A and B are shown apart, each in its own frame.
Chain A
Amino acid sequence: MFYTDQQKYWIWLSSIRGVSTSQFYQLINEYGEPGYVWDQLILARHILAPAAYRHLKEARSQDYLDELFGQMEESDVTAITQPDDDYPDRLRSIPEAPPTLFVRGNREVLNAEKAFAIVGSRKITVDGARFTERIAERLAENGVCVVSGLAFGADRKAHEGCLNGGSPTIAVLASGPEIVYPRENEDVAARIYEEGGALLSEYRPGTKPATHHFPARNRIISGLADGVLMTEGTARSGAMITMNYARVQNRPRFAVPGSVYAASSEGPNQLLVEGALPCISEKQVFDYFGWKRVEEPADMAADALDGLDETSCKLVEILKFEEKSFDELANIMKISPSSLNSLLTILEMQGIIRQSAGRLYRAII
C-alpha cells in the first residue's frame, strides 16, 4: 500500500498513544498539517498532557515509523485517513470522527450503499439471539451491510446472521484491527475477513483492548451506519451508549420491544418510550429507508413441522411462545424422561428447537 508523505505523517500522529481525537484535530488546526508536528514538537506541549507529549517525542523517530508501517504490512492492515476520498462519508460527518481508520480486510465495504448497525447486550436470551441473527440475515439477503462490535452475544449473532445472509459485515474493534477480543470470536473474525468484510479500528495495530476504548468505538458503529437497532440489553448495557451516539449523530434508532418486566428488554423498551422506532421484523427498517426488499421466502416452519408425529407437534406447540424446562415438559407431556430426552435431541438436530443453559428449551421456528 502506498501512502503519500502527508498521509504518512497523518497516520503517524493518529497512532500515538494518549492523543485523543479532539487533541488530534486541535494539533492539525494549530500546525496546519501533521508534517509540521514532526518538524517542531514544542507547540504541542500546550495541547497534550505531559505523558502524551512524551509519547509523541519518543515516537518521532524513523524506527517508530518503520515499526508502525511494518506492523501494518505484516497483519494486512491498511489505513484510511480522514481527508482521503474513500474515507466513509457517513462517518466523516459525525462529531469526533476518527482521524484514521485501520482496516483489516475489504476497505470498500465501508462505503457500502446500505449499512445498518445492530447492537445488544453480551448476554442475551435465546429469543434475543434468534431475533438478532434472523434480522441480520434478512438484511444481508437484501444487500445491507451489517455493522456491529464483535462482542459476545448480540454482536456475534449480528455478524453471523449477516454472513449467513451473504453480505460482508463490518466489525468495529476496541483494539488494534488484528487483535480479536474476546478470543472466542476468532472464528467469526476469520469469516468476516475471508468473506469480504472488514475488521476496523481507530487504534493502530498492536493496541490491546482497554476499558475506555469500548465506549469510544461505539460512536464508529453508529457513525458507519444509516440506522441503528438495539435488540436486547439492560438500561446500563454498553449498547445504550451506541444508541446515545446514534441520537447525537442523527441516526434513526430502532428498538425491539420486549416484556416490561424482562431485564433483557429494559434498554430497548426505554428507547421506545423516548421515541425510537419499534422494530419487530426487517420490514420496519426497509420501509423507513424506502429500501427495496425481496419477499420473505415461503413459510419454512410449516414444511419442517409437516414430517413430525403427533407428540413432537405437541411439544413444539408448547415451546412456541414460552421457554420450558425439562421437568416442566415432562409434567405437561406425561412421557418418560428417556423418551422426552430422545425426542428433544431429534427436534434439536432438525433445528426446530434450541436448548440453553439450565436445560431450558424453546422452539425456534
Chain B
Amino acid sequence: MLSVVLSYGLSGIEGFPVRVEVNLSRGITQFELVGLPDAAVKESRERVRTALKNSGFSFPEGRLTVNLAPADMKKEGPAFDLPMAVGILSASGGILPEAMRDTALLGELSLDGSVRPVRGVLPMTISAREQGVKRILVPAANAGEVRCIEGIDIYPVESLRAAFSHLRGETPIDRLETVEYRQLLGERTPQVDFSHVKGQKSAKRALEIAAAGGHNVIMIGPPGSGKTLMARCVPTILPDMTFEEALETTRIHSAAGLMDGGTLLVERPFRTPHHTASSVSLIGGGVHATPGEISKAHNGVLFLDELPEYKRDVLEALRQPMEDGFVTITRVNAQSTYPSQFMLICSMNPCPCGNYGSRTQPCRCSQADIRRYLNRISGPLLDRIDLHIEIESIPPERIADDTLEESSEAIRERVETARAVQRRRYAGRGIQCNARLDARSITEFCRMKPDARKMLMKACDTMKLSNRAFTRILKVSRTIADMADSDMIELAHVAEAVQYRTLDRKYWG
C-alpha cells in the first residue's frame, strides 16, 4: 500500500516541498530509502524503526520503500524522520490519507519516540503557507519561532504518539495561538544598556550619529576602554525592527540552527566573529552553502574586534556583500542567496602596545610599528567606514562614579526621529538611510550653507583630507543635520563631522 506525506526541505532560507512516499509491499522485510538523502537522512531508517517500536507500534513486515521526491534535489538533515514514521503508519493502515491532506510535517525523532527540534522551521513554515498548505505539524521545541505566523494552522508535536493520535482525531493537539509581534517587542529585556557606560560622552554621541544614519564605525582606543561594551549597546539604540525585518532575520537564524527554542527575534542581532574566522565562516559557504556571520548579522550589528588581527582576505571578502546588501553563495550541492545588510562596527588599538595617545601609559611602539599596524587594515574597507571614533580610557574613579547616564531608550527615541526624517526624504528612492547615499544622491541631498562649505574646504586643506573623506564627512553631517531637524547642512554640523575622521589625520602613523 502507498501513502504520501508532505514535508519540507531547506534550501538557503527558502523551504521547498518534499513528498515523502512510502510503499509497503509483500516480500522480504527490508527498508529502502531513495531520493538523494544525505548521511543524516539515511540514518533516519534506524531512528524511525526504533522510535516506532518504542512508541508501541510494531514495525510492518514486508518490503518498505521510502522515496523523497523530487528525487533530483539533495535532502539533508533529520527533519524527515517524523513524516517517514507517519508515512509508514499510514501505509500500514493506521492513519487515513484524508487526515493528512494539506498538512505538512517536520521533525526529528528520538529513539524513545519523542520529537526533537530541527533547524529551519520558520522558513519552511513560511514557504508552506505561501504554497497553500493549511496545517503544519512542527516540533514543540520550535513552536516559539513560528508564533507570529498567521494564515496557517500550526500544531506543536511532542512525540510520535501524539502526532499519531492527533492525525487519527483521537486526541487533537491544540492549534498554536499566534502572538502579535508588538507584544513580543514589549516583552524583551535587553542585556546591556548605554546607561551602563560611564563617561565616554564623545563616543556615545558618535555612536548615536552612526545609529541615526546607519553609518559604519571604527572605534580606536586603548585596551579596556569599553569599546566592546559600547558596541554591544549599539543594537539597543537602533530603531526597533519592523515585523518584516524580524521575520527575515529570524529566517536566517532558523536556517542556521541558532534558534535554540527562542521566539521571533525582537532585538537586532549582534554578531562578533573571532578574528581567526575564515572567509567562509564570515561570508557563508560550506557543503550546504550555509549562511555566514554577515547574514546572521542581517538587520543588526557585525562587530569586528581588533580589526587589524583579521586576515586580509577575510576583510576583502566583506566588501562586495557590504555594497550589495546580499550575498550569493554557490557550492557543488547548493546555491543560496542570503541578505546581509548590517551595520559594521570595528574596534582596534591605536598601536600594537595599545598606549599611543595615552597620558598615563607610555607607548613603546615606534612610528614604523604603528604604521605597519594601521596598514594591516585594507584601505577599501576603511573607505566604507564613515565614522572614526577615538575612545578615551576612563580613569577608575569614573567607573565607580554613579552619576546617572542616559538610557538606551532615550537615545533610541532620538535615533527614530532622525530615521523618520530620512525615510520621508528618501521615500520611493530605495535609499534607507544616509549611509546608503551614492555619489549622485549626495549632491542632491547634502546641500550645505555657504559658510559650511567654506569650512569643509578649509578643513580638507589644512588636514589634507582626501576626496573620499570629503564625501564621508558630507554624509555624516547630513545625519547630524537630520538629528537637529535642519533642512540644510550648517556650519556646526560640518564642524562636528570633521571630528570623526581621526584616521585621516597625519599625526596618526
Contact = CB atoms under 8 A, between A and B. Distances in A.
A358 B358 contact: yes
Most A CB within 10 A of own CB, among B204, B362, B367, B371? B367
A29 to B, nearest CB: 41
A187 to B, nearest CB: 10
Interface size class of B (residues with CB under 8 A): 35 or more
B62 interface: no
Nearest to A346: B495
A188 interface: no
Most B CB within 10 A of own CB, among A123, A153, A184, A359? A359
Given A341-B496, A359-B202, A323 B359 contact: yes
B495 A358 contact: no
A42 interface: no
B359 A345 contact: no
B201 interface: yes
A342 interface: yes
B480 A356 contact: no
B392 A357 contact: no
A359 B367 contact: no
B359 A360 contact: yes
A338 B205 contact: yes
Nearest to B480: A338
Contact of B202 (A122, A341, A343): A341
Interface stretch (A108-116, A161-169, A299-307, A324-332): A324-332
A327 B459 contact: no
A146 B201 CA distance: 44
Contact of B199 (A123, A323, A327): A327
A297 interface: no
13 contacts: A122-B366, A123-B363, A326-B390, A337-B201, A337-B204, A338-B205, A341-B202, A345-B496, A349-B455, A349-B462, A357-B508, A358-B359, A360-B359
A358 B202 contact: no
A349 B462 CA distance: 7
Interface in A349-365: 349, 355-360
Contact of A342 (B201, B390, B496): B496
B215 to A, nearest CB: 15
Dominant secondary structure of chain B at its interface with chain A: helix
A325 B357 CA distance: 10
A337 B202 contact: yes
Contacts of A323: 359
A152 interface: yes
Given A339-B492, A341-B202, A345-B498, A182 B359 contact: no
Contacts of A153: 367
B499 interface: yes
Contacts of A330: 201-202
Most A CB within 10 A of own CB, among B371, B493, B499, B505? B499
Contacts of B496: 338, 341-342, 345
B235 interface: no
A248 interface: no
A74 B281 CA distance: 53
Most A CB within 10 A of own CB, among B202, B363, B368, B462? B202
Contacts of A344: 499
A333 to B, nearest CB: 11
Interface in A112-158: 122-123, 152-153
B63 interface: no
A182 B509 CA distance: 12
B175 interface: no
Given A152-B367, A345-B495, A357-B507, A327 B390 contact: no
B491 A358 contact: no
B219 to A, nearest CB: 12
A326 B392 contact: yes
B202 A342 contact: no
A212 to B, nearest CB: 17
Contacts of B356: 357-358
Given A337-B202, A342-B494, A349-B458, 7 more contacts: A326-B390, A327-B394, A339-B492, A341-B495, A341-B499, A344-B499, A357-B390
B151 to A, nearest CB: 47
B202 A326 contact: yes
Interface string B354-375: 0011110011001110010000
